[in-house]
Structures are given as C-alpha cells and as structure tokens.
Chain A
Amino acid sequence: MATTTLTPAASSYRSGLYDWVTTTDHKKIGIMYVINSFIFFFVGGVLALAVRSELAFPGMQILTPLGYNESFTMHATFMIFLFVIPMLAGFGNYVVPLQIGAPDMAFPRINALSLWMLPLAGILLLSGFLTGGTAAAGWTSYAPLSEDHALAATGAGQDLWIVALILIGTSSILGAVNFLVTIFKMRAPGMTLFRMPIMVWTVLVTSVLVLMATPVITSALIMLFIDRNYGGAFFDPRVGGDPILYQNVFWFYSHPAVYVMILPAMGMISEILPVFSRKPLFGYKAFIFATAAIGALGFSVWAHHMFTTGAVYLPFFSLMTFLIAVPTGVKMFNWIFTMWRGQLMFKTPLLFAFGFLSMFLIGGINGAFSASVPVDFALHDTYWVVAHLHYVLFGGSVFGIMAGFYYWFPKMTGRMMNETLGKVQFVIMFIGFNMTFFPMHELGLAGMPRRIADYSSTAGWNDLNLVATIGGFLIALSMLPFLWNIFLSLRSGKPAGDDPWEGNTLEWATSSPPPAYNFDRLPDIRSERPLFDARHPSIAPVSDH
C-alpha cells in the first residue's frame, strides 16, 4: 500500500494544448514520446502489412518493385528510429527521474528539444511518399545503391531520409547527455550507484552507447550526403571511393544500436519480474556487470554484419559475437531464478514479460548460428536473418515495451487498464508473432533471400509465405483490443492509487499521476527496493550484493 500522505494528488492532465506543447516536465515529455512512438509504430506496421500482403502469393499483385523496396525500407526506418529507440527513451524519460527521486531531468529544455525533433523527422520521412518516392535502398542504405546513380537512389527521397536520420540522431545524443547527467548528479540522498533500480542502470549503459555510437552514423550519413550532392568520393568506386568503408562506419553505430533497442526493455522486464514474483531480482550486481559487458562488447562485433564481403578479419568478430552470448545468458538465468520459488501474479505485465523471455531466448539462439562464420555464409541476407531480427526486436523489445506500458500506465494516468483486454491482446499477439516469424527460419534455410519483392512459384516457398502473412494480420488484429483498452481505461478505468502493484521502486511512492515536482517526501533509501523496505520494515534491506 502507498506510504505517502500527500495532499490531494494532481488530477489527470486537463491542462491545455499550449501547456503540453511548451512543457519541459519530464513526465509530460515522456508521455508525448510514447504517443509519438506509437503513431510511428502504426505507420511502420501498415508498411509491414503492405510487404506481407505482396509476399502472400507469388506474382506482383499490389506494389511495383520500387514501391516494395520503399515499403520495407521505410518499415524498418520507422520501426527502428521512430518507434523502438524513442519509445524506450520516452519510458526512460518518464521513469528514471522518478526512480532516482529527482524532480526532473538535468536539462528540461533540451529534453523538450529532443522530443520535438522526432515528429519533425517523421514528417520529413513521410514527405518522401508525396515527393516522388522515399528512400528505397533498405534501412541500411548501402552505397553505391544509395548513391545518385542511374538505377540507384536518384531523387530527393534518399536525401530526406538522410536529413531525417541526422535529426533523430541529434535528438538521441542530446537525450543521452541528459540521462547521464541526471543519473550521475540528481539521485536522492542514500541512492548510491549500486542501489539504483536496474531500469536506471540499463538507461545509463544505453546512454553511453548512444553517446559514443550515434555520432558515427551521423558522420556516415553526412559523407553519403556529400557523395550524393557534392560529387564526393567517399563510397563511390567510380571515383576511387570504397563501398566497404560505408558498411564499416554504418555498422559501427548500427550494431550498438541494437543494444540501445534492447537494454532498456531488459531494464523494464527487470523491474516487472521482481514485483510480480514478490521476490527481489536474482543476482542484481551480476546483472549490472552483464549489462556493462554487453555494452562494451557491443562495440567490438559490428563486422559480423559483413562476413560475406570478403573484407573483414573473420575470426575476431566471430569470437566477440560468440562471447556476447555469455552475459546475455547470465541475464536470462537471473530472470528465470527471480521467478523461481516466487509467487507469480499473472497480470498483463507479467504475461508480456513471459513473452519477452521466451521469444528473446529464441532470438538469441538463432543469432548464435550466425556467429559461426561458415553457417553465416549460408544464412546471411536470407529470411533466417529476418526471423532473428524480429525475434529479438519484436519478441524482445516490443513485448518488453508492452509489458512496460501495462505496468506504468496506472502511474502515468491514475487509471488501471482492463486485464481481460490485456490478456486477449497478449494471446493474439503472441500467436500472430510466432506465426509470422517462425516459418522464416525455414524459408531462409531453404534459400529465400531478403528484400525480394516477389518469388518464383516453383521455389517451394508459397505456403510458408502465406502463413507468415496471416500471422502478420493477426498481429495487426491484436492492436484492436490494445487501443480499445487504452480508450476505455482513460475514460473509466479503476482509479489506480499510488501503488497498485506493490512496487519496489520510488515511482510508486507518490501519487498517480505524480505532482509536477514528483515527490513531497521520500522513504529511506537503503537498497534497490526502497518501497519494499518501507513496506516490510522487519526484513533487513540488502544492499551489499
């Protein structure tokens, strides 16, 4: 139960549009990050449905070859840069200052700037659809296909894409600076680094990755822009440039980017599992070291995306890629043994956490296949990789995001979500997700390459593609109970109170939603579970992990 005795809690946000547009309050900014990200999730989802609809049957039924290439390029671009990365930044924005007992982020105005750069970038990307075509060279945008040559990326779409990504990257970098300064400088007294919630730790490591890696892709994008528009010779072999240089600079960012996309989701799962198991996280310190190890190792594996180029030193990158499986496995065991001998409460956040664990495991295992270079020679650029990336990004990040959304919605809005609708969404989404992506393992092994708009009817891939398409529409269907749930809950959900889940961390020690200044007073902080300790004074706080 709540331990605070605040004067009437702040009522739900009835402040006007002007207030929301000009706010520097991390909670409102966090909510707007989440809303913006969901909008682009739906845009990216529609593009995915276009792709899957075209691939359901052999033959080109709906899209032109160029339209298909635009669809999967923009699908991935929206999902990575305007959905997963900012969604996790948004949750971090909302939750981190609360969890460390701070009144806001270190630089509230820069926080607002980071937010508003995103819808602007989204509009730039979308405008390609209206100005003769978007980028169509894949989200990886390899040169020379992304250069300004015949049958390559002529037209403004690719340039709009470059500018939009530079904007998004700047937003991320500013956000990372903000998170790091907030976490290092604004923790409440008593909260040492090793008493911080895991969510805060994962945001810390993620911010280091964003800070160090994102500027490198900015440089790659700028170099590509110079090639395309000013006759540059970076990547164009016709004038002495090197396409492999692009891949190296690109992947130096884009590999750490995948850890940016998963670590905060892992942080959210690490908050949810202890609460819904009624036990602390198993191996708190080991978990932190594993997270740091993943962050560090993540900078050393980028060329495993380039095994088939004939231009990388294969054994080094293969070894580092295999090694990164170890801290990931440590975390998996930490999570499982958090639940072991616990008392699991099957609310929607836990269901999605279970979805995360079971599906991310598959994504981790099928990734290990690709770490073996000879096996990767067979699997690279086939649907196997599409299966892998979706098992970690959808099975991992999206299920994690859903878990976090159901977990923190009561804190953000003061209303509980409907459990039945949540369970319905989970079941449909889980089944649809597996139906879409599991067959892709077989498709990739059988030889279906990625990024093809059509396939031969005699290749033997018809049935699996149809099954995958049906699964994709099931995923889309699962959004209906989700949206209905949000609408219903906002209108007439049960009042949540301060602490509906018997949470462990400080955000549950204030009203739902919190007042502008977050806290009136704080409980003692003597472990990573200050609220649990306050609720169970007879159990000694454990902080010497």
Chain B
Amino acid sequence: MSSSSSARRSRPGLIWVATLIVAFVVVGALYVSGAGVRIVESLYPPPAVTDQGADTRELYNVVFLIAAVIFLLVEGLLVWTIIAYRRKPTDTELPPQTHGNSVAEIIWTVIPTLIVAFLFVISWQTLNKVDTVTATAETKIRAVAGQFQWEFDYMPPTYDPLAKEPVAPLYVEYAPTGAEGGLHIPTGRTIQLYLTSPDVIHAFYVPQFLFKRDVVPGRINAFAFNVQADQAGQTFRGQCAELCGIGHKDMLFDVHAMEGAAFDAWLADKVAQASATPAPPPSGGPAPSGGPAPSGGAAGPGTELAETAQNIAFTTTELTAPANSPITIKFDNQDAGTPHNIKIFKDSIGGQVVFDGKIFPGVATETYDVGPLAAGTYPFECFVHQNMTGTLTVQ
C-alpha cells in the first residue's frame, strides 16, 4: 500500500470526529434555544379537534419520526461522503474499484421493505378508524358545494341520500362564514356529513380536522366524525381544496362547535325562524324582504328597479336610480337551485358595504329594500358568484 492511502485512512477518522462534534453542538443549540421545537412544530399539522384527527396525528408522529431518522442518516451519510472523499493531490492511483457488496445490498433492500410494510400496516389501521361512515349518526348535515359558495343543509335523522323520495332539510344555511352562518356542529356526538355538488369537483377541507374529502358531482361522498368535547365554543376555518374555477380562492367556510344541548337549541330556533318567514313566491309580486317596510314615511315616491339572474349572470349590468329616493330592487333568480344575491358596495367591490341582500335559490323572486342613496356610482356583485357584477348609478 502506498503512503497516501495510510494517510487517507486517518483523514476520514478526523473528519468523522469533527462532524460528530459539530452535529452535537448544533442539535444541542437548537434544543436549548427552543428553535428545534419550533422547527419540528413547523413540520407538524395543527392539533386535531376531532377524534379521527387525533388518530391521524398520532400516526403522523410515527411517520415523522421514521422520516426524520432516515433523513438524518442518509443525508448525513451523503454529506459526509462528499466531504471525506474529496480527491486530494496525493491521490494519483485509482481508488479500489468496488463493484458492489451483496451483503450490503441485501440489507438495504430488506430493511426498507420491512419499514414500509410497518408503515403500511399502521396506516391501514388508522385508516379504518378515520375513514368511516356510520349507520347511526346522531346529526346529519349535507354540505352543498357550488361555484363558489358552500351551503349547509341540516337534515332530519331519517335522511338517506339513496332513498327514492327526497327528504327536505330542516334548515338551510346559505351564508358559509361569519358568527351567524357557517357550519354549526355539536361536540361529543357522531356527525355524518354528506357532500354533494351540482357543478364541478370541490373538496371539503378543515385543516384542524386533519381531513378532507372531495365533493364530486354525480355522487354523494359521506364521512362521519366526532368533535372533541373540549372544543365547544371554538371556530375552525375551512376552505375548498379542489380547483373549481375563478372563485376557488373565495370558497371559505367557518365551522362552529357547540355543546350538544346548545346545538339542539340553536337548530330548533333556526327551524322555527325559517317556518315563520313565508317562502318567497315562485314569481312576480312584491314579497316581504329582510329590510324595513318600503315606502312608509320616506321622502319621495320610491323607485323600483328590476334585476334578473340567469345562467350565472345578471341580465342588466347597469342600473340607474334617482338620488335620495328609496330604492327597491325586485330580484328574479331564474337559475333553478342556484343561490344568488345582490351585494352593493360604496366605492369598490370588496370595500365598504352599502347593502347586503339575502341569498336565495332560484327559481324565486325577492324584493330588496335598499333605501335611499346619495348620488354616486355603486358597484354591486352576487356574493355567491363574484364574476357577476354590475354598477348602480345614482344621480
């Protein structure tokens, strides 16, 4: 053996020791400063608020640990190899021309196979706990994903999506976000969510559930979950996670967890309110709107405008009205089953709101009582389909 190779034999040794010391110092510093914890946290999903999410997070612990160990070992080996085996000026002879090593190759085939088999088995076990539908759900809710808004239908316990006779929902929530709107659910009970869409594929995703499920038109996906009891009073954010068009970024929803009895009271209240308000007539005729009584005591005779929504578009995009005169808009929604509204802004869409009309599905007509407005240009949109826009010019 030439002298260069004996010198080589001690060089890797020194580098080996140096690397270990550096690694020890770095890991120690990370631990002591809490930065290490922060790094690990950033590679973790949020804490789960459902039982199923908690099962998933426990599985994640194992997967993450194995991944981290493999990463540190292999990446470490790689970095070390690069550093330790640089060609030196003394390397004039070829290094040993090793073509392979059967023992090593068998080991690094068998052990990874065992590791992935283990990961598969524990994943499958967790899957059976997480991905379930139940025949005995205490609360059944249907989430309707349309372009570009979520709607939540609270169904009676008899609801079966495959039944021939359609079951009417007890209460329909059209506003997907906000303290009043969104998806209200009871803690400590098994909830079954049914997912349906009339148009394109969407996805129901709540990060804190560590769960999502696609909403596919033409089929009804269902899954059951339980929100943990200590989450009562909390709100979780949800968002559509499957590209569904130009409004995909806007399809947010809120999930409000309520203690069981509080949920029952809330739902009963909503059901009572819904039956007290007469349903909008199918066409024509002024109908009671959500605002104050029209015309009474206001200055001037009042102006009635007409607007129609058809094929996800306003038929009139330019409305005009005189200033300081009470404005009502008779809004005819011609799109069967599709919710629309008119939302009027002061200066620009997304800015200060002047009037937020009730969202309702077609085919139906609502009369919006906008009230008198000062002279100006007011852009409006349909909140559900924000490509539907227009301008109300008041002069």
The verdict on A243 contacting chain B, using a C-beta distance below 8 Å, is yes
Q: Is A223 an interface residue (CB 8 A)?
A: no
Per-residue B-contact encoding for A306-332, CB less than 8 Å = 1, 0 else = 001111001100110011011001101
Of A151, A283, A330, the residue contacting B245 (CB under 8 A) is A151
> Which B77-98 residues have a C-beta within 8 angstroms of A?
77-79, 81-82, 85-88, 91, 94-98
Asked whether any CB of chain A lies closer than 8 Å to the CB of B67, the reply is: yes
From B64, B79, B249, name the one whose CB has the most chain A CB atoms within 10 angstroms.
B249
| Binding-face segment, B204-212, B288-296, B368-376 | B204-212
Q: Which residues of B contact A380 (CB under 8 A)?
A: 212, 241
- A442 / chain B contacts, CB cutoff of 8 Å: 42-43
Would you call B116 and A377 a contact (CB within 8 A)? no
Contact in complex: B207, A282 (CB < 8 Å): no
Interface assignment of A536: CB less than 8 Å from any CB of chain B: yes
User: Which residues of B are at the interface with A, using a C-beta cutoff of 8 A?
Assistant: 42-46, 55-56, 59-60, 63-64, 67, 70-71, 74-75, 77-79, 81-82, 85-88, 91, 94-101, 104-105, 108-109, 112-113, 116-117, 119-120, 123-124, 126-127, 130-131, 147, 199-201, 203, 205, 207-208, 210-214, 216-219, 221, 223, 237, 239-249, 252, 311-312, 385, 387
Interface contact B75-A361, CB-CB below 8 Å: yes
Q: A308-B213, A373-B131 are in contact. Are A459 and B237 (CB under 8 A)?
A: yes
Chain A residues with Cβ under 8 A from B104's Cβ?
333, 337
A336 near B77 with CB under 8 A, answer yes
Q: Are B78 and A237 in touch, CB under 8 angstroms?
A: no
Q: A166-174, A203-211, A339-347, A401-409: which one contacts chain B?
A: A339-347
Q: Which residue of B lies closest to A283 (CB)?
A: B100
Q: A250–B182 Cα gap in the complex (Å)?
A: 35
For residue A118, give the distance in angstroms from its CB to the closest CB of chain B.
27
- Cβ 8 A contact of A449, one of B126, B131, B205, B221: B205
**Residue tally, chain A, CB below 8 Å to B:** 92
| Beta-carbon contact of A344 and B87 below 8 Å | yes
For the complex, what is the distance from the CA of A523 to the CA of B382, rounded to whole Å?
75
The docked-state distance in angstroms from the alpha carbon of A174 to that of B42 is 46
Among candidates B45, B113, B387, residue contacting A378 with C-beta atoms closer than 8 Å = B45
Most buried by B among A137, A151, A330, A368: A151
Contacts A279-B97, A368-B67 known; A451 to B243 CB distance under 8 Å? yes
Question: What are 16 contact pairs spanning A and B, CB under 8 A?
Answer: A65-B248, A144-B199, A152-B200, A278-B87, A280-B97, A286-B105, A310-B214, A311-B216, A330-B109, A337-B104, A344-B87, A354-B78, A361-B78, A375-B59, A377-B210, A452-B248
| Complex CA distance for A310 and B242, rounded to whole angstroms | 14
Contact at B123–A373, with CB atoms within 8 Å?
yes
Which residues of A sit under 8 angstroms from B56, Cβ to Cβ? Answer: 374-375, 377-378
Contacts of B243 in A (CB 8 A): 69, 137-138, 142, 145, 450-451
Bound together, the chains give a CA A326 to CA B119 distance in angstroms of 13
